[in-house]
Amino acid sequence: MINRLKKQLSQSFAMKDMRATEKILGIRIMRDRQENKLWLSQEHYVKRVLQRFQMENAKAVSTPLATHFKLSGKQSPSNETEKSYMQRVPYAYVVVRLMCAMVCTRPDIAHVVGTFSRFLTNPGMA
């Protein structure tokens, strides 16, 4: 069935059969055909983001956002010194990079990314 589809597609499009894909758009694809399992990884992407913020040695945790960690609008900058400092913090850059990982391969971080994205316009130091 797959070969028939490839033949039909090749009649309409210029294409090459390059066998199983191992990487696409920076996402590594790993397969275990015997177990019918497929894994997607953005390990290199995440490592680059961590390096950008000197967090390569950060401790990994199983819960991306601890339950005791609360964010609110009250934590937004309240004076010019805090506002000036937070303008230099690439908060939006980090949130967007996390969104990319979340959408492609890391749905487990959706809650934390959603929580952080609520504060894109005026993030506080917390």
Tell me the two tokens of residue 4: 């028939």
Domain assignment present for residue 8? The answer is yes
- Indicate the number of domains in the chain: 1
Domain assignment present for residue 84? The answer is yes
pTM above 0.95, yes or no: no
Domain assignment present for residue 33? The answer is yes
Domain assignment present for residue 77? The answer is yes
C-beta of residue 124 within 8 angstroms of C-beta of residue 75 = yes
- Per-residue pLDDT tens digits for 71-117: 888 888 888 888 888 888 888 898 999 999 999 999 988 988 998 89
Domain assignment present for residue 122? The answer is no
C-beta of residue 40 within 8 angstroms of C-beta of residue 105 = yes
- Per-residue pLDDT tens digits for 2-24: 889 999 999 999 998 888 889 98
| Structural domain containing residue 73 | 2-117
Domain assignment present for residue 123? The answer is no
